[in-house]
Structure 1
């Protein structure tokens, strides 16, 4: 799901037969010439790869250069290539792959080259940007609003409705954006994957690992080209039915449950969790946090130049729940607010920003340009959207209102992708899919993994009994070995398998520690 941040920036970020299926198949290309990267990292290679600009116009000679990054296999003989998409939509896949190369080589077995391309709309590939400069983007909507609107706050809903319309107008009228926007989207990205596969794989089959939005792309490829699927993992599933035809309500299904789990795990580890010193029942501590959010909605706090309102705290909770490595900091921040110590919250928040985890900034508009260009929803007025807002908040009391902004900007959006997948997600792939969902995932619930698996013949759902967004957030030797076995020999886990994490959420351990314990990577030398 898109990374929607605080409201002032959020408005800026934020089956039948498919016509894409009817497009002609483009012939195998001539390969990829790998060379040095502009990214200063060891053991990676880069290439530009030319694909058709618009697959809906087979007679056109217009082309697009995709930027690819490869991490070579470390074991021989090599078994092929695994392609990656890490989500968003809008994440720069090349940088993410380069930064996680050692981990992903270990998880996948080391016998595959790992390759990622920045999808259309992201980074330098048909960049989805509606502004000339970062400063222009940051100030465009004027005085920032600090409200994530609730369904009962008509004034806030109206304000955001207007803001999202203004931003859509900016994008619609920005020079060149309409043309770029019509050439991005998931159906185009799936065909780009097929072109890459045809260029680098002798057997013409896809090996793929997709997380978050990357599962939508993977599921779309599998539905469009089921006979071209060899190994395909969907990890942290965003329901593609809702992605293309709804408001992503299901995405919030486990948000409250994940927060409840965070509180319970905190109280089990009072020496590692700042909130643990309160020594109360989990349900009482949760109630205190919900009351805190209501208080901050009515009476925000200020600390220096930071306005601490319910919207900021909701956003902070949302993204902190993505990974247990952030749980101690989240607990410290909430303890500060519950103790009426705004400075304590501000210190944690500032540390996040200084480390590069700025929740209020986005480099472009790719997150909603890709999503809204793909999505088809009935045209509705603000009043007519009331059931959507109710459904979002009914799905998650804590975070559901964060989805209102995305819903509104997609309601206004007028720039449609020329190609859009309009079919269903029912197919018999050449080799069955491995679908993975976390027990406690605030952004992509286990339910979505089960729903998408039901449509792909022979696929199996593996439940990763951990916290955070996707299996990479909390290490499990069981899950890692299941992934390796799948890529090495196609073995699927038994149905209803649950792989527990190797450590509790508040323990000072990481996925890397699990890989070291398994002997899949070497421990870093002690300083």
Structure 2
């Protein structure tokens, strides 16, 4: 429903099917919602006395244990539910690591986060980063991950069970009249209500899953593993998490890689609109590639014409869903088909799968392939259960910034701008951004710049045709950070590290191993 994330499962499955998170975004001050500009307010560093005040948490020693995945250890750390009121109680943070394999001098720990918000960092570490990162990096670093608060194993937010999630994901997000608008608003209200009423842990943690709080948790992990400074690789939303850490603790910044960067200075509505344009850019690349191949389901001609064909197909599904063979009886409706196409935009390695799925759906009325892509995006398992990705995604986003839209009227007024950004996806993405309007917890953050004055060099990576984190965001974040260094990948897909560019991988590996960043503005293909 809300595409503001890096889909860890799609990326893992396509990349590990063929190679490596969610929806995306967040932000945190003086910008009114819906403004098209950025803010001049900067995130302030925390005082050094903060660690002393929280010494009970900083003095923890993790009790590592085997956790079922060969070569990995797991532990649980305590964090205050409310950093302003530590007496309010604790939450448990799930941490995992894989020790440095050698040879070479150990460089400390390398914390990784795949994005989201809502992607499981522990799952990402154990399924990909701990075995798929370059051997020379794994040789020198203990690979470490912590599920952010509210996510997966760390006091997870829960909202709807599997059957109700199935209904939710099939809700029409391109309403044609007032009745359908009300149905969409009701779906968002029921989802939000479920997050607060369905689970005791969820209700308790819901007001305390902001990115600032998750970044403060990372500092507890840094201390627990014995590092003076944090070394970190964050993708997508993980770049916002890493940049927030740098803003709060600039003197504790070690080697930070922010890949697929976000611009925290953008208000939520403008961020959604720019991301909508990013998906259009990615679709244009896919369409051009598809047209060059025999049997392209979108035909030949310009990407504009191909987009019109795809939009017409979506409209047809809105009227008449098609069969999927799903054992739970789900048909391919417009919302699921749109999600399936968007999922494949994150990784050009998924384009062949998307061509096959579109061919089957458009010519044979077989929606199984697009449903499979949609399910991977939502992290729905074959047994009908979902991870808490979607719940955590909404919980973090709706706390980090005021809602993009507060009413259906506001969405209607913004539709022309979104449809101009993407004739194919604009309407659906605009209406999906209504999801925080009825959120039960008031936002605690707003858009702001992050400068991290005094931090060591921070490497910001942007991909020119990234769908979810448009390239201008990387330029903006690198410019905001006082020590930012921009590395550009002339390529497709979401994020750049580990996607096959020796130039990108070499620059990042050198930085992680030696601390020397590439020259600011370096470009790779």
2:78 aligns to what?
A: 50
Question: What corresponds to 1:307 in structure 2?
Answer: 331
CA RMSD of aligned residues (A): 3.4
1:63 is aligned, of 71, 90, 95, to 90
Aligned position for 1:85: 113
Task: Name the CA distance, whole Å, in 1 between partners of 2:499 and 2:195.
Answer: 38
User: Contact 1:18/1:423 (CA < 8 Å) preserved in 2?
Assistant: yes
Deviation at 1:350, TM superposition (A): 4.8
1:261 Cα deviation after fit: 0.7
> Tell me, which stretches of 5 or more residues in structure 1 are unaligned?
6-10, 501-527
Task: Give 1:470's aligned residue.
Answer: 495
Count of residue correspondences: 479
**Which whole-Å deviations, capped at 9, do the CAs of 1:238-291 have from their partners, x for residues lacking one?**
332336686632222321111111122234454xxx518956555544443233
The residue number in structure 2 matching 1:369 is: 395
Judging changes above 3 Å, is the alpha-carbon distance between structure 1 residues 286 and 62 closer, same or farther for their aligned structure 2 residues? closer
Confirm or deny: 8 A CA contact 2:72 2:126 kept in the other structure: yes
Identify if the C-alpha distance between structure 1 residues 67 and 455 changes in structure 2 by more than 3 Å, giving closer, same or farther.
same
- Tell me: CA distance 1:180–1:315, structure 2 relative to 1, closer, same or farther (3 Å): same
* Superposition map of 1:448-467 within 5 A: 448-467=473-492
Give the SS at the match of 2:406: coil
Contact 2:158–2:199, Cα closer than 8 Å, also in 1: no
Distance 1:113 1:289 in 2: 46
1:29-48 equivalences in 2 (<5 Å): 29-30=58-59, 32-38=61-67, 40-48=68-76
Distance 2:120 2:132 in 1: 18
Distance 2:7 2:418 in 1: 15
Instruction: State the partner residue of 1:480.
Output: 505
Secondary structure at the aligned position of 2:93 is classed as strand
Q: Please name the residue that 2:30 is paired with.
A: none
Aligned to 1:292: 313
Is 1:425 equivalent to 2:450 in the alignment? yes
Deviations 1:291-323 (A, max 9, x none): 333333344434554433332221111001112
Q: Deviations over 1:324-380 (max 9, x none)?
A: 221111111222344x3113x425645885999649963332111121122224883
The 5-angstrom pairing of residues 19-38 of structure 1 reads 21=46, 24-27=49-52, 29-30=58-59, 32-38=61-67
> What are structure 2's unaligned runs of at least 5 residues?
9-22, 24-39
In the superposition, the TM-score normalised over structure 1's length comes to: 0.81
Distance 1:165 1:424, change over 3 A: same
Deviation of residue 429 (structure 1)? Answer: 4.0
Match of 1:524 in 2: none
- Summarize the alignment of residues 59-458 of structure 1 with structure 2, pairs less than 5 Å apart: 60=87, 62-75=89-102, 76-100=104-128, 101-106=130-135, 108=137, 110-131=139-160, 133-135=161-163, 137-138=164-165, 145-149=170-174, 153-174=177-198, 176=200, 177-202=202-227, 204-242=228-266, 248-270=272-294, 274-275=295-296, 280=301, 282-304=303-325, 305-338=329-362, 340-343=363-366, 345-347=367-369, 349-350=371-372, 358=380, 362-364=386-388, 365-377=391-403, 380-404=406-430, 406-416=432-442, 420=445, 423-458=448-483
Cα 1:473–1:265 change in 2 (3 A) is farther
The 1:140/1:333 distance shift into structure 2, 3 A limit, reads closer
> What CA distance in whole angstroms lies between the structure 1 residues aligned with 2:122 and 2:184?
34
Q: Is the 8 A contact 2:340 2:372 kept in 1?
A: no
For residues 197-239 of structure 1, what are the alpha-carbon distances to aligned partners after superposition, in whole Å with 9 as ceiling and x for unaligned?
Answer: 123234x211111111111111111122222212111111233
Equivalent pair of 1:465/1:499 in contact (CA under 8 Å): yes
Q: Is the 8 A contact 1:466 1:474 kept in 2?
A: no
TM-score, with structure 2 as normaliser: 0.81
Distance 1:61 1:356 in 2: 33
Q: Tell me how far apart the structure 2 counterparts of residues 257 and 426 of structure 1 sit (CA, whole Å).
A: 29
Contact 1:206/1:231, CA 8 A, preserved across alignment = yes
Rounded to whole Å, the distance in 2 between the matches of 1:331 and 1:108 is: 36
Distance 1:243 1:35, change over 3 A: farther
Superposed displacement of residue 61, structure 1? 7.2
Residues 334 and 134 of structure 1: CA distance in aligned 2, closer, same or farther (over 3 Å):
closer
**Aligned match of 2:31:** none
> What's the CA shift for 1:16?
4.2
Deviation string for 1:456-488 (max 9, x for gaps)? 123122112222221257321111101101111
Q: Deviations over 1:47-94 (max 9, x none)?
A: 122233321115x27333321101211223101111111111111111
| Greater alpha carbon shift after TM alignment, 287-296 vs 358-367 | 358-367
Q: Distance in 1 between matches of 2:79 and 2:323?
A: 51
